[in-house]
Structure 1
Amino acid sequence: MTLAEAAPETFPAVIENAGAESRFVLVCEHASHRIPEAWGDLGLSRQQRLAHVAWDPGALGLSRGLARRLGAVLVHAPVSRLVYDCNRAPDQPGAMAEQSEMHEIPGNRGLCTKERAARTAAVYTPFHADLRAEIVRRIALGLAPVLVTVHSFTPIWHGVPREVEFGIIHDRDASLARAVLAESRGTGLVCGLNEPYSAADDVTHTLRLQALPYGLANVMLEIRNDLIATPEAEEAMADRLAPVLERALASLSTPAMAG
């Protein structure tokens, strides 16, 4: 019996520091490489299941470091993006990718519509319902949430080294992203706006779904994963980036002085 034929187990979002009063809501959609038993190993080796193809190494540790420094709530997904990528809409091929980077994903090949619907119901729907509930609760409390999604990317892509170290990505609302870029001067990081990805690559789904409908300030952060490869490096990066986010938000909240 497949998961599509059984009553599916669901995998709700993990919410940490729910009582936080900071405006920041941190989100880590690719926090986990866990593949629940219902999906076996998706036909992948152990090495593949621990590699970037299955999750964003360092992103959860960095997110937790930022949450501590900012006094922020953190919402993260408990399942590998290879089962379902919570930063992709259900109609996007990348939601249950048959190939990711240079890796074939045998367990995702030729999925029937029932299986796709079952995975969506098990992973995507509860994750985004829980995230939305947290955002709406904070709106009701008058906290004016600011959505920040945290990701990591590989130093080399299809054999080409990436010089950018800190990517700052926006969808239709570029205000917070541009403020983060401006405040990143002095961090020692090679920064890029809409690098190494942009909204044109369909990487801003969570921002579109959860922030834009409410008019919330939002930004997607991408950190090169060799810079957050250890717990110590994650903490050091959190030390660098937490003040950047605080200053960026403050700059949006401060009216520009008349010339």
Structure 2
Amino acid sequence: MEKAWPASLAPSETVRVTNPGGSSPFVFTCDHASNFLPAEFGTLGLSLEDLSRHIAWDPGALPVASRMAEALDATLVETRVSRLVIDCNRPLDAPDLVPPVSETTVIPGNSGLSDKQRAARVDLAWRPFHDAISGIVDRRLARGQETRLVSVHSFTPVYKGKSRPWHIGIIHDDDRRLAAPLISALQRLSGVTV
């Protein structure tokens, strides 16, 4: 677990925006930047070992996103709350928005939540994160600034007991304008499985 966190965060503190006026066409997001659990959630019934695993965050993703944003004069939007509290990389209607199980680990503190408890988690972290991204993108588009949204993640080499052969994965929607050339370039690297 990270040690420099306050006991709790207000919704205005659950998202951090670095370099909001960046000149780069890229806006980086880091949806799983932290494994921090605000005090009101305790440990969600998990061990400290579990809270350091990939189920709680994407280890290494934030340093990579930060370095890329700095190198490219890009904006970075990051979550500051564990995805076990609420997964900011999911739509609001996703069954695993507040995951009762992550990979194969049951999350006791996420079972049997009321609609009010779920809504409080949305208001704590999901909504501020998505509002920050929307605001940045809207301002950039209003001034005619080219904008390419890139989300940075890490992934575990073993998922649900199965080995994953990839060194790098590029996930994309139907728009492949950014993904296709990136995949093509990465596939030319020797010894790297994409």
After superposition, the C-alpha distances for 1:56-87 in whole angstroms (9 at most, x for unaligned) are 00000110111122221111001000001001
After superposition, the C-alpha distances for 1:85-115 in whole angstroms (9 at most, x for unaligned) are 0011122111100000111100000111111
- The separation in 2 between residues aligned to 1:27 and 1:95, in whole angstroms, is 18
Q: Bigger radius of gyration, 1 or 2?
A: 1
Partner of 2:193: 190
User: 1:127-166 maps to which residues of 2 (within 5 A)?
Assistant: 127-166=129-168
Query: Structure 1 stretch 79-88 or stretch 140-149: which is displaced more?
Result: 140-149
Q: Contact 2:36 / 2:80 at 8 angstroms: preserved in 1? A: yes
Q: Contact 2:15 / 2:78 at 8 angstroms: preserved in 1? A: yes
After superposition, the C-alpha distances for 1:130-167 in whole angstroms (9 at most, x for unaligned) are 11111111112221110000111111123322111111
User: 1:1-259 maps to which residues of 2 (within 5 A)?
Assistant: 9-10=10-11, 11-188=13-190, 189-191=192-194
The CA deviation at 1:186 is 3.5
Gaps of 5+ in 1: 1-7, 192-259
SS at match of 1:148: strand
Given residue 31 of structure 2, which amino acid in structure 1 is its aligned partner? E
Q: When you count helix as a share of all residues, which structure comes out higher?
A: 1
- The separation in 2 between residues aligned to 1:162 and 1:90, in whole angstroms, is 28
Alpha-carbon RMSD? 1.4
Matched-pair identity in % = 42
Q: Contact 1:13 / 1:131 at 8 angstroms: preserved in 2? A: no
SS at match of 2:138: helix
The CA deviation at 1:12 is 4.0
Distance 1:20 1:9, change over 3 A: closer
**What count of residue pairs does the alignment treat as equivalent?**
184
SS at match of 2:57: coil
Per the normalisation by structure 1, the TM-score is 0.68
The CA deviation at 1:122 is 1.2
